[in-house]
Amino acid sequence: MSSLFRDDPQAGSQLPVRSLELQQPRLDAGQLRGLAIGGAIVLGLLIWLFWHFFARQFRIAIHHQADWGHTLVIPLIAGYFVYLNRHRLLATGFKTTWVGLIPMVLGTAWYVFCWLGPITLRHHNLQGAGLSLTLFGIVLLFFGFRATAYLLFPLLYLCVFGQGISDRLMNYVTFPLQDITARGSFVFLKLIDLDIVRRGNILTIYDDGVAKPLNVSEACSGMRMLVAFLALGVAMAYTGFKHFWQRVTLVMMGVPIAIFVNILRVSTLALLSLVDSNFTAGDFHTFIGLLWLVPALLIYLGLIWILRHLIIEEEPSDGGPQLAAAAPSNVPMRSES
């Protein structure tokens, strides 16, 4: 029957289509129903247990939107990564792996210990580490090792970029970036022939003999822009490129692009301070930072275009004519009924 067989041009015979379809395991309705009910119960328990962390992270994202507002979008992006691998997940199948209880219990215990333990351990990111370990254990418990291999990257992306970084950890990188931004802005303003002096992280512009200082504070270091760019770069690299070197290049280039755009942002604020010193503070200061995200994104898109056009991939030929010519001529034609 023509509907039950598929021609194999290399073997010269027909293979049953149904046998090919059965090679991939499928989940029946009962398994999907049980998975959905179990997932809903675990999700409810997870929200109840880690409510303190989720509420705090939500407040951070809302009250500091310019810095951590992107964390509200990270779960959606991670979910899209899972959606891209849906066919592989369904083909792999899910299997309960009781080993997942170990990281789940350890992560929960660590979170509770950081929450109720000594004050030095009541740290947002330390609690986030406990939540991350718990999520890994839940995924491993319900889906098994093979499916977890496809879910590991979305899970890491969610845990790394889905939470705000505390000032205690940020300071290790903030101070060097603060110095780089002050030096870069000083050079740029010097190039456009401004009378400017730099003392540490304070830029002083002299306008008709009047000194107008601009302090490149920690908030102007560009660290939070750098984190957002890394999150964007990882997402674009994962979805837009197939070659490893392209992905690594795109992610690494997010660092100099973020620093360069931040230097231009601080230089813009310095120029606006010549008109009105109030432009360097308040909502207008935040607006300038958001405005510079547009050219930064365009630069990033331009880099993606360059990386895609550095190599030209040839489309693989199906070899149809060659296989037809190589087939023996004395094989009788098979009529379909």
Place of tokens 């509420």: 55
- Specify the DSSP element, H or E, that contains 15: strand 13-16
Q: How far is CA 143 from CA 75, 123, 255, 277, 306, in A?
A: 19, 30, 35, 58, 39
| Distance between CA atoms of residues 271 and 279, nearest Å | 10
Last residue of a domain, one of 120, 147, 164: 164
Place of tokens 């490893």: 244
* pLDDT on residue 94: 81
| Distance between CA atoms of residues 326 and 322, nearest Å | 6
326 domain residue, yes or no: no
Determine how β-strand 5-8 pairs with β-strand 13-16.
antiparallel
* pLDDT on residue 79: 93
* pLDDT on residue 333: 45
Do both 248 and 296 map to the same domain? yes
| Distance between CA atoms of residues 127 and 137, nearest Å | 16
* pLDDT on residue 131: 94
334 domain residue, yes or no: no
Q: For the chain, how many structural domains are there in total?
A: 2
Do both 303 and 196 map to the same domain? yes
Do both 23 and 113 map to the same domain? yes
336 domain residue, yes or no: no
- Assess contact for 142 and 98: CB atoms under 8 A: no
131 domain residue, yes or no: yes
242 domain residue, yes or no: yes
| Distance between CA atoms of residues 139 and 82, nearest Å | 12
The SS3 assignment for 332 reads coil
* pLDDT on residue 210: 81
Sheet of strand 196-199, all strands in order from the earlier edge strand to the far edge: 196-199, 202-207, 210-215
318 domain residue, yes or no: no
* pLDDT on residue 219: 62
| Distance between CA atoms of residues 78 and 156, nearest Å | 9
What residues make up the domain containing 95? 5-164
* pLDDT on residue 74: 94
- Assess contact for 143 and 182: CB atoms under 8 A: no
Do both 262 and 130 map to the same domain? no
The SS3 assignment for 328 reads coil
Last residue of a domain, one of 164, 187, 202: 164
Do both 229 and 262 map to the same domain? yes
* pLDDT on residue 282: 67
End-to-end CA distance of the chain: 6
Do both 119 and 190 map to the same domain? no
Last residue of a domain, one of 137, 164, 191: 164
Do both 247 and 277 map to the same domain? yes
Do both 142 and 185 map to the same domain? no
222 domain residue, yes or no: yes
Do both 148 and 177 map to the same domain? no
Do both 184 and 208 map to the same domain? yes
Do both 63 and 191 map to the same domain? no
Do both 125 and 189 map to the same domain? no
Per-residue pLDDT tens digits of the chain, which is 337 residues long? 444 444 444 444 444 444 434 444 555 666 667 667 777 888 888 889 999 999 999 998 998 877 788 899 999 999 999 999 989 888 887 888 899 999 999 999 999 999 888 888 888 899 999 999 999 999 998 888 999 999 999 999 999 999 988 877 787 888 888 888 889 988 998 898 888 888 888 888 887 778 888 887 766 666 777 888 889 889 989 988 888 898 999 989 888 888 898 888 888 888 888 887 777 776 777 777 778 888 888 988 899 899 888 876 666 555 544 444 444 444 444 444 3
231 domain residue, yes or no: yes
